[in-house]
Amino acid sequence: MWNSKLLVELLHDYISVDILLGQLHHHSTFLRTFPSHPTSPTHSQHINPSFNMVAITSITLSAATLISLTTAIPAQPVRSTGVIHRVFAGSTTANNGLHFEPENVVAEPGDLMEFHFLPKAHTFVQSSFDKPCEPLGGDNAIFSGFNFNTTAGEAPNVFTFMVPDKNPIWYYCSQPNGNHCQKGMSGVINQNFNSNKTLAKYKDNAVNTVTKQPSTDPLASQVGMILPNVPI
């Protein structure tokens, strides 16, 4: 990974040399004619006038290259805030157990989401608002896989991931047996409350959909981590 401080220092040096050569080029007589011997002041040697322009062009391009490199440096990763939001997938009371509790969470970048799983083999799968019950594509899409089956109480493991920013994260349970997503088992992190894209609308749009899986491997997970369920 490039060191941004080093690049800035190098860029400063290149620009400084560029300015210096530009100033020397301005005094063209000095550059093109200079004494070849201290005892022969009238004897002069001519320099190729294109030399200075080539040097300036080369260094200017080098500076531009450094600028492009600094803009290509990846952003610093989000730092953990130490805050953990615990969400329970499945419920013994709400919606016949097809429920995330809480289902609507407001979190800051760097907060951790920690999903605890109750019976009925639930999952966490990120989607878009416009396509409920369908996984969001790409390497940054979050899904847990069917790794948390339990017949009683909480599963021995949890699924956790760090909130990257304030953009909404829509998600659903991809359990097809019983149509969990279509029956309202979905949630959102950082819903925009000034928008008409609400969790209630997401659930309404999910009713007539078909649940899709994020991977052909039912145990595959992405972005998040599967960790032991440590009692609070």
Per-residue confidence band for 76, with pLDDT thresholds at 50, 70 and 90: low
Packing angle between helix 4-26 and helix 50-71, nearest 10 degrees? 160
Reading phi first (left if > 0) and then psi (alpha if -120 to 50, else beta), residue 120 is in left
- pLDDT value for 75: 58
105 and 202 together in one domain: yes
Alpha-carbon span 179 to 160, nearest angstrom = 24
When pLDDT is averaged across residues 106-119 and rounded to a whole number, the result is: 98
Nearest of 154, 149, 157 to residue 229 by alpha carbon: 157
What are the CA-CA distances from residue 217 to residues 78, 139, 221 (Å)? 29, 16, 9
CA angle 158, 162, 166 (to 5 degrees): 130
CATH number at residue 177: 2.60.40.420
State whether 32 and 135 are in the same domain: no
How confident is the model over 56-68, as a mean pLDDT?
A: 42
Same domain assignment for residues 89 and 60 = no
Q: In this model, does residue 27 exceed pLDDT 90? A: no
pLDDT of residue 100: 98
Shared domain check, 49 and 162: no
- Look at residues 44, 71, 98 and tell me which one is the last residue of a structural domain: 71
User: Which domain, by its residues, includes 173?
Assistant: 79-232
**Total tally of structural domains belonging to the chain:** 2
Residues 220 and 166 in one domain: yes
Query: Model's pTM, two decimal places?
Result: 0.69
Same domain, 44 and 159: no
Peptide bond into 35 cis (omega under 30): no
Is a pLDDT exceeding 50 seen at residue 72? no
Q: How far apart are CA 72 and CA 36, in angstroms?
A: 47
Same domain, 213 and 131: yes
137 and 222 in a single domain? The answer is yes
User: How does pLDDT run across 115-139, given as a tens digit for each residue?
Assistant: 999 998 999 999 999 999 999 999 9
